[in-house]
Amino acid sequence: MRTVDIERTIPADVTDVFEWLTDATNYRRISVVRRVTLVRPGDDHCHGSGAVRVVVTPLLRLTEEIVEYRPPTLMRYRITRSTPPLRHDEGFMSFRSVPEGTRVRWFSRFEVASPILAGVCTLAMVPVVAGGFQMTMDRAERELLGIR
């Protein structure tokens, strides 16, 4: 298993940052995201616990289920299906207010489920996932600050 663990401060209110980053429909405005589909809404909130969504990029197709949703501090998810196939151990976004805005931590632990060269494929996937997290937080920050 490999880990992508990125922390960043976004100069905006914690509630606004939480709402932007946990609403996958916002990801459509990221250049590498081809499609986002909410397959099943969550129990108490559209993108809350129980929600299932599909995110498609040129290199990844992910089906994720939201397993914990505690506004505005935590969203925990698991990848249930993917191309390429991944074993996903844990994923979450945590949010906390700091004097400069909101401190976001986006964490995911996974490995490529391949019968051959799984370690090499997993290692190659780490910068892809990290780059996706960074681009998503970049877009969130720009939009929350009113920058297009």
Q: Note the pLDDT of residue 109.
A: 97
Q: Angle 14-22/118-144 helices, nearest 10 degrees?
A: 130
- Residue 147 confidence (pLDDT): 86
DSSP per position, 40-109: E--SSSTTSTT-EEEEE-SS-EEEEEEEEEETTTEEEEEEEEEES-EEEEEEEEEEEEETTEEEEEEEEE
At 114 the pLDDT is 83
Predicted pLDDT of residue 118: 87
Q: What is the pLDDT of residue 117?
A: 86
CA-to-CA dists, residue 141 to 13, 20, 87, 92, 134, angstroms: 11, 9, 30, 19, 10
pTM of the model: 0.94
CATH classification at residue 33:
3.30.530.20
Under 8 Å between Cβ of 73 and 96: yes
Computed from CA positions of residues 21, 24, 26, 27, in that sequence, does the dihedral angle turn out positive or negative? positive
Number of domains in the chain: 1
Domain that includes residue 88, residue range: 2-144
DSSP element (H, E) containing 32: none
Per-block average pLDDT, block size 10, for the chain (148 residues)? 96 98 95 95 93 94 97 98 93 98 98 88 92 96 91
